[in-house]
Structure 1
């Protein structure tokens, strides 16, 4: 039996193999979510509170395990490299969990789209009623003082359209313009009799272009500012925990105080993990859309959490305070996964994509 005053740590092959699989799985499971944000170039749909609580709870869990396994870290000076790595796998897997979740938070800030331009609001106003209903939640109406500006922009677009119809008789508001067509293809198939200079005006002010592609992927300025504020709070919380943890360990504080700090981190991480998925569940339930959430990521992580908890429990040092946060997070993530699957079925029935845009 392993004792804190000795470094003759027992070898546990199955536990080491499980921890190695978990470490690889943690990284792979977050790749679909990161790629979804990167390829769609939008992170709208992820709740800032969900990311904040997840980043802070995973940080608490990481420092909890570091404190509880610190005697093993000190033993690495007398162990071989492979043996040290084997007994450090608990710290490695919770650190990877924290790192990957933090990366998703960073991607959220990098790819959050805000578009409140009058032109985009006018385009949304001209959309079919069904499509507008799905995007209203993502693009709230402008404030009362913007009403005249939006109406004026829409009126201008109608005047432009009327002018082209009267002059060239080539443009119809119901014309079927395929999104995958290039501007050059549209020149020949839709309005080939319009002079080139006029075509450019029409492309900018009437036809769907790059700006139209973000419709449905745009969020609010308020949510963006909230995300930035919570990111700074997360960074400050991480620095505080890191400094205090390292100070207690470096000063060889009384064992009782270190255990109290570890228990505080574990309980705090559990509370934050329980609260973590509640904002995201509410956020997704109100939107009735999957949006930027990755279903493959959740399908990998929900069953993988069982193996994660087993691998962590088999390490020397971690106790129930280390495990409870991940058990709570895995349970609530399963609820979020079921909700997203239900919305995906609904989207297929309504023929809309994950952002509420007509297919």
Structure 2
């Protein structure tokens, strides 16, 4: 077999990779649980998830390409040596799987009130309501999810084809004696080398722009939303260990670890923005989605919507407004103020009652259908006396 499949034990790299695999799973769990617990993925950018998923997939396939020899050597080495030599592939594969699961949860827990909207331009249905159409954000999310799946399937098939078409590396010529200089990782065939370079560069390029849509979304919303701050607190310093673990592995080059170095820098920037918005939310007494904290007066926004308090810093008093009860059956126009209409109704009702009290009686023909016939307000002096009290 030559020296191609000779086991090379490195306990430091193996231990570091094992710790990183465990840390990857643990670091992503807060984000997964946060979306499930809150029941919404509001605040996440679909472009961020698309770029992150495709970047992680390209990095995963890059590792498979540059370390395909270790995979083939599993046929002739022990299980322990196989696990140790392919741990880097497992590590990068976990990164792709855990991030892609965020995209799945994003689609499953997409806010219902953001999926469809009424289109007033279309003819109304028999019920009199305007037909509902898909919102731009939901349509964009569905399209980007399909693009993510198509990218991974096509890239995986092309990687498999190139690996199967490449020459068998297990029978490399033996090194010269008496001074052998074995190279456990012979140079990749030209086709595989170019494909690995493309995957590495594309993964790094996507990682550079991956966080830009999410940074823009979070910065514009001025809210943390469904983002998990604990996840970023763990992953930002963990990017350094991730880069070190991959760079120390045999057969890897800068195209394999540059992705995670760039991603760590961008994620640190997003973490800094989220911390700043967390402090702002605490000052305004609002939660991550713009609603009032528990114990604070509820907002007067329409049902199904949440007040974002974005204008609070511009002089709006977000905590000093009095709660106003809705008037049952009251229908307001778009330009009518609910508070003004309610005060007008109260004033008119008070004047009407005062007038009845001054007159001292009600119209005799007025009846109360729910009272017995002998207790109608308009039929006796007793009823009139009661009317006088009202």
TM-score (norm 1): 0.70
When the two structures are aligned, how many residues end up with a matched partner? 265
In structure 2, what is the equivalent of residue 50 of structure 1? 48
In structure 2, what is the equivalent of residue 82 of structure 1? 80
In structure 2, what is the equivalent of residue 160 of structure 1? none
In structure 2, what is the equivalent of residue 280 of structure 1? 214
Asked whether the equivalents of residues 114 and 138 of structure 2 are also in contact (C-alpha less than 8 Å), the reply is no
Tell me: CA distance 1:312–1:342, structure 2 relative to 1, closer, same or farther (3 Å).
same
Tell me: CA distance 1:116–1:307, structure 2 relative to 1, closer, same or farther (3 Å).
closer
In structure 1, what is the equivalent of residue 204 of structure 2? 270
* CA deviation after TM superposition for structure 1 residue 116, in Å: 6.3
1:341 alignment partner, one of 250, 275, 283 = 275
In structure 2, what is the equivalent of residue 173 of structure 1? none
Tell me: CA distance 1:302–1:5, structure 2 relative to 1, closer, same or farther (3 Å).
same
* CA deviation after TM superposition for structure 1 residue 221, in Å: 2.5
Asked whether the equivalents of residues 43 and 217 of structure 2 are also in contact (C-alpha less than 8 Å), the reply is yes
* CA deviation after TM superposition for structure 1 residue 42, in Å: 0.3
2:156 alignment partner, one of 242, 245, 256 = 242
Asked whether the equivalents of residues 114 and 221 of structure 1 are also in contact (C-alpha less than 8 Å), the reply is no
1:233 alignment partner, one of 138, 141, 147 = 147
The yes-or-no answer on 1:297 pairing with 2:231 is yes
Alignment of 1:196-215 (within 5 A): none
Asked whether the equivalents of residues 65 and 317 of structure 1 are also in contact (C-alpha less than 8 Å), the reply is no
* CA deviation after TM superposition for structure 1 residue 145, in Å: 6.2
Deviation track 1:276-305 (CA, whole Å, cap 9, x = no partner) reads 000000000000000100000000100111
Asked whether the equivalents of residues 203 and 259 of structure 2 are also in contact (C-alpha less than 8 Å), the reply is yes
In structure 2, what is the equivalent of residue 27 of structure 1? 25
Alignment of 1:19-168 (within 5 A): 19-115=17-113
* CA deviation after TM superposition for structure 1 residue 9, in Å: 2.7
Deviation track 1:56-111 (CA, whole Å, cap 9, x = no partner) reads 00000000010000011111111111111011011000000000011000000000
* CA deviation after TM superposition for structure 1 residue 227, in Å: 1.1
Moved over 3 A (4+): 141-146
Question: Which of the pair has more CA radius of gyration?
Answer: 2
**2:76 and 2:221 mapped to 1: Cα distance?**
55
TM-score (norm 2): 0.65
Structure 1 unaligned runs (5+)?
118-138, 147-152, 154-219
* CA deviation after TM superposition for structure 1 residue 5, in Å: 5.6
Give the structure with the higher percent helix: 1
* CA deviation after TM superposition for structure 1 residue 226, in Å: 1.0
